Structure 1
Amino acid sequence: MNPRAVGVVAKRRKLSNPLALTVMVLLAERSMHPYEIAQTLRRRGKEHSVKINFGSLYTVVQNLEKHGYVEVTGVQRQGNRPERTLYGITGAGRHEMVDWLSDLLAVPVAEYPVFETALSLLPVLPPEEVAELMETREAALAVQSAALRGVLGQLGEQLPRIFVVETEYQLHMLDAQLEWIRNFRAEIDNATISGIEEWKSFHETGEVPQDWQDLDEQEIVLDPER
């Protein structure tokens, strides 16, 4: 049993793009046109926490309107500029917004990050090469961490903390990954990680170690209650 599948299951939704939820949250504040939504997201630094494709923002708004989550509330005219359609959240949209956000906060889901996938496959590379690759990743993450600290510092000066908690979380997770990689790389360098002898043997001889073959014959059952 996959331990990540244990527990409450998130609901299936008509729309699954987190950008749609982000748009609904902004429209819950006030009616906006799509360009204003994009500008607000930029000003609040949300491109660091939400995958935002500004070119598809209009499509997201249209899909929200199609499902009855937002509606046209008026038209904005400013000088000689083209008219801009204003959108606001509907009662159904507000209900979906609250339910969706509550789900995301409370219910863990299996997101399968690509780094975890790579880690699950790393024995195909020799230990010394993995250690070098981890060192390269560590250096890149250190740069990202420093940059994110700068972003957080700037946002923290301009916005209340409640609007930057996701950036705090990103930095915390980044630093946690850095610490794990340093420790993992040290275990490889010091040959203290269990299974490393078989790992080395696999790359020295080209033959799958007997211990690994025996593992394929075992049925490993994970008990999430333990």
Structure 2
Amino acid sequence: MEKRRKVANPLALAVLAELLAEPMHPYEMGRRLQEHGKDRSFKYNRGSLYMVVEQLRKAGFIIEQETVRDTQRPERTVYALTEEGRQEFYNWMRELVSAPRHEYPHFGVALSLLSLLSPTEAAELLDRRLAALTAEAAEIRASVRGAVDGGVTWVFLVEEEYRLAVLDAERTFITQLIESLKQPDYVRAWQEIFGSRT
């Protein structure tokens, strides 16, 4: 069973990971997440990053190490990882990597109700989704190629490879689903059940 965490926002895991490397202030954490492309895996903005940092501090996973004063910049608090924070990071990572978790993506909800759309409209909407997924996959492939050509080790790109695998699986699924929606037997059955309601 999944453990209930003191700070459950996935962004907290990214903050703990950054602090494993060295103490730093939240602005630097955000800069590094963007620089390393991790902002594609963690949904955040500056406010949410500072909120998560404060939650981690209250939970005892990080501490204020020092306040840096620079005449050209505002005062910044540098945070460091505590031993409890280090343990939390590794325990959380072990759980996420080893234990599958049922997630509730919006697309799954839409698929569960897809029969309420006409076969023609559903196929047209899925065609649009397929085009968007294809463009996204091409963008990720180009980004990965550029990173590899730039000497980035594969393990630092593994989340992008995973995203590509998921996108490719979804594209295959959608292609087959569109074909199924166009089958005369399905169209006839849909019209018999829902045709009078639309």
Report the TM-score, using the length of structure 1 for normalisation.
0.81
Give the match's secondary structure for 1:88. Answer: strand
What is the CA–CA distance in structure 1 between the aligned matches of 2:73 and 2:171, rounded to whole Å? Answer: 49
Q: CA deviation at 1:74?
A: 2.1
Q: CA deviation at 1:131?
A: 1.1
Q: Which consecutive unaligned segments of at least 5 residues does structure 1 have?
A: 1-8, 208-226
Q: How many residues align?
A: 197
* Identity percentage of aligned residues: 39
Confirm or deny: 8 A CA contact 1:32 1:87 kept in the other structure. yes
Among 195, 198, 205, the alignment partner of 2:189 is 198
Match of 2:115 in 1: 123
Among 150, 162, 165, the alignment partner of 1:169 is 162
What is the CA–CA distance in structure 2 between the aligned matches of 1:27 and 1:55, rounded to whole Å? Answer: 18
Structure 1 or 2, whichever has the larger Rg, is 1
Q: CA deviation at 1:151?
A: 2.1
What is the CA–CA distance in structure 1 between the aligned matches of 2:11 and 2:197, rounded to whole Å? Answer: 47
What is the CA–CA distance in structure 2 between the aligned matches of 1:82 and 1:204, rounded to whole Å? Answer: 64
Match of 2:59 in 1: 67
Over 3 Å counting, the alpha-carbon distance change for 1:198 and 1:59 in structure 2 is same
Q: Which consecutive unaligned segments of at least 5 residues does structure 2 have?
A: none
Over 3 Å counting, the alpha-carbon distance change for 1:52 and 1:158 in structure 2 is farther
What is the CA–CA distance in structure 1 between the aligned matches of 2:3 and 2:187, rounded to whole Å? Answer: 42
- 1:182 partner letter: T
Give the match's secondary structure for 1:15. Answer: coil
- Equivalences for residues 88-103 of structure 1 within 5 A: 88-103=80-95
Match of 1:21 in 2: 13
Among 178, 187, 193, the alignment partner of 1:185 is 178
Match of 1:33 in 2: 25
Q: CA deviation at 1:190?
A: 3.1
- 2:101 partner letter: V
Confirm or deny: 8 A CA contact 1:72 1:86 kept in the other structure. yes
Where relative contact order (Cα < 8 A, 6+ residues apart) is larger, the structure is 1
Confirm or deny: 8 A CA contact 1:127 1:200 kept in the other structure. no
Whose helix proportion is higher, 1 or 2?
2
Confirm or deny: 8 A CA contact 1:28 1:94 kept in the other structure. yes
Q: CA deviation at 1:196?
A: 5.1
What is the CA–CA distance in structure 1 between the aligned matches of 2:173 and 2:184, rounded to whole Å? Answer: 16
Match of 1:152 in 2: 144
Confirm or deny: 8 A CA contact 1:34 1:61 kept in the other structure. yes
Report the TM-score, using the length of structure 2 for normalisation.
0.91
